[in-house]
Amino acid sequence: MAHKTPLATWLYLNRTVLAPTFTEFKGTGELAPGLFDFSTKIMWQGTEIEGRGVDDNREIAFEKSVAEGIERIICAAKNINSVGLAVSGGSHCPEAHAKFETLERFYLDEHLHKRIPLIEVKSDIILPNTFLAMNPECEVRFFQMATPTSLYGLVCQISDIERKSFGFALSDSMENSQRRSFLESIPSFCWLKNKNELNQSASSVPWQISKEFISKISPLLGSIPVNDFRKSFFPKLVSEEVIYSDIPILKSALLKVSKYKVVNMSGDL
């Protein structure tokens, strides 16, 4: 599989330098049959960098994990954050993904900082069905962010009596946003079910399942009637140039890189 997709091919050709190791987390697929969950770890300038990818297509899941690893190299080399940064190989353009991710974080922050409620919406996808059939004690719920009508920002909450995990997505399709937010939430839920609590510190818990985040978002979920739902404004997006060709290891990579940020009246976000 390492040679079947563009970024994976590049990593395979640079394996002696980056010393990649790959892990397929079977637990995610056992919890939600049909899903594939990959971790790609690489060594770059003495630092271990990890990318993660989840999808119902095995090759795409693997490619996502490699892409995230490359994103982390760029962020470390350029001293930038990963919000609104998207990387792809081949003919796929990452611009839409970068824009959507920037807006996703913007609207989520709007809800959290201004305490704007989110409304619950019904599931339009079949992806969670096998998971729920095998885990009848669990719930999968989707909550919609206050966005302009052309956008669908979603929070997916997967929970049982002991734990909650969250995933987020924004796109121009309700179905796509539900699918992507579920795919983002399920690995965290699997991690929560399988983690050894004695070996976990607060700093090792991903932010989106931390006690602090859960305490902030839980009161906002499904707490208003639909007819009171607020639509937010569309912020100004600006493109940021990210030059990766001066990062030696990436010179040979045929990448497309896109990064966006939100600019508002009070400054950059």
Average pLDDT over residues 116-129: 92
Task: Tell whether 145 and 205 lie within a shared domain.
Answer: yes
Which pLDDT band holds residue 128 (cuts at 50, 70, 90)? very high
Domain annotation covers residue 107: no
Scan for tokens 């100004």, then name that residue.
Answer: 236
Q: Give the pLDDT mean for 81-89.
A: 92
pTM for the model stands at: 0.89
Of the candidates 215, 218, 219, 145, which has an alpha carbon nearest to the alpha carbon of residue 181? 145
Same structural domain for residues 221 and 246? no
Report how far residue 261's alpha carbon sits from residue 269's, in angstroms, rounded to the nearest whole number. Answer: 7
Using 50, 70 and 90 to split pLDDT, how confident is the model at 2? very low
pLDDT at site 208 = 85
- 222 shares its domain with 241: no
pLDDT of 230 > 70? The answer is: no
123 and 93 in a common domain = no
Average of pLDDT values for 123-130? Answer: 92
Residue 199 has pLDDT above 60, yes or no: no
Residue 93 has a pLDDT of: 84
Which one, of 76, 78, 74, lies nearest residue 86 by Cα? Answer: 74
Residues 125 and 189 in one domain: yes
10-58 tens-digit pLDDT: 999 999 999 999 999 988 999 999 999 999 999 999 999 999 999 999 9
Residue 172 lies in a domain: yes
Which CATH number does the domain housing residue 202 bear? 3.30.160
Question: What average pLDDT does range 168-188 have in this prediction?
Answer: 96
CATH value at residue 88: 3.30.160.20
Handedness of CA 123, 37, 55, 20 (dihedral sign): positive
Same domain membership, residue 246 and residue 223: no
Coil, helix or strand at residue 198: helix
Instruction: Please give the DSSP secondary-structure letter assigned to residue 231.
Output: P
Structural domain includes residue 199: yes
Q: Report pLDDT for 226.
A: 57
CA dist 231 and 15 (Å) reads: 48
Range of the structural domain that residue 81 is part of: 6-98+236-268
Q: Does a structural domain hold residue 159? A: yes
Domain count, the chain: 2
Report how far residue 262's alpha carbon sits from residue 137's, in angstroms, rounded to the nearest whole number: 40
∠ CA 29-31-32, rounded to 5°: 60
- Quick one: average pLDDT of 186-210? 73
Residue 134 and residue 223 share a domain: yes
| Eight-state DSSP code of residue 267 | E
Range of lowest pLDDT (188-202, 211-225, 240-254): 188-202
207 lies in a domain?
yes
Residue 174 lies in a domain: yes
Mean per-residue pLDDT for 242-264?
A: 91
Predicted confidence (pLDDT) at residue 198 exceeds the cutoff of 70: no
Q: Does the pLDDT of residue 8 top 50, yes or no? A: yes
What is residue 229's predicted lDDT score, i.e. its pLDDT? 62
Per-residue pLDDT at 205: 77
In the chain, % of residues over pLDDT 90: 73
Looking at the structure, tell me whether residues 125 and 63 fall in a common domain. Answer: no
Q: Is the dihedral of CA 179, 156, 135, 190 positive or negative?
A: positive
With respect to residue 77, please indicate whether it lies within any of the assigned structural domains: yes
Please, where are the H alpha helices in 79-139?
Answer: 95-114, 127-134
Higher pLDDT, 92 or 60: 60
Q: Is residue 108 part of a domain?
A: no
Same domain (yes/no): 66, 163: no
